[in-house]
Amino acid sequence: MRKHNFNLGGEAEENEIDLTPMLDVVFIMLIFFIVTASFIKEAGIDVNRPDAPITETPPEEANILVVVDANDDIFIDRRHIDPRAVRANIERLHAENPASSVVIQPNKKSSNKMLITIMDASRQAGVYSISIADSPN
């Protein structure tokens, strides 16, 4: 006797996995991540980097150079300055030359806290043109 296999087509369809719902979920997740990623804003500091190498300038156009060494010691005009006196020194030098700006030259091993302290003291002294230069070391 011969067996008829009429349901073979139906069994083959039942054994296949339908991937359509999984693709829908993947596309929805992709859209979700794209939309949420555009609203993330990272905190940071605005830094004015010099465009050209530093050249010798006449004394009347000289900037206020603040150097921070590896031990977080501050030097202005090659004199060791207490962190509490940075504002007063910048105010004095800025009063002598109102066109000057502050150039901070931190050492790679100095702390970011000292850099921010100097930037805050400069702004409190009324100098808003602040640049950060790479140390020659």
CATH number at residue 121: 3.30.420.270
**DSSP state letter for 48:** B
Per-residue confidence (pLDDT) for residue 55, from 0 to 100: 57
Split into its structural domains, the chain has a count of 1
Q: Which residue carries 């979920």 as its tokens? A: 25
Q: Is residue 1 part of a domain?
A: no
Q: Is residue 81 part of a domain?
A: yes
Q: When comparing pLDDT for 60 and 137, which is higher? A: 137
- 97: domain range? 59-132
Q: Is residue 30 part of a domain?
A: no
Q: Is residue 73 part of a domain?
A: yes
Q: Is residue 27 part of a domain?
A: no
Is it the case that residue 9 has pLDDT exceeding 90? no
Q: Is residue 14 part of a domain?
A: no
Q: Is residue 118 part of a domain?
A: yes
Per-residue confidence (pLDDT) for residue 80, from 0 to 100: 92
Q: When comparing pLDDT for 81 and 39, which is higher? A: 81
Is it the case that residue 129 has pLDDT exceeding 60? yes
Residue from 50, 45, 56, 31 nearest 118 by CA: 45
| pTM of the complete model beyond 0.75 | no
Is it the case that residue 7 has pLDDT exceeding 70? no
Per-residue confidence (pLDDT) for residue 39, from 0 to 100: 63
Contacts of 108 (CB under 8 A, 6+ apart): 70, 135, 137
Per-residue confidence (pLDDT) for residue 78, from 0 to 100: 87
**Range 102-124 average pLDDT:** 90
| % of residues, the chain, pLDDT over 70 | 75
Q: Is residue 8 part of a domain?
A: no
Q: 81 with 114: CB under 8 angstroms?
A: no
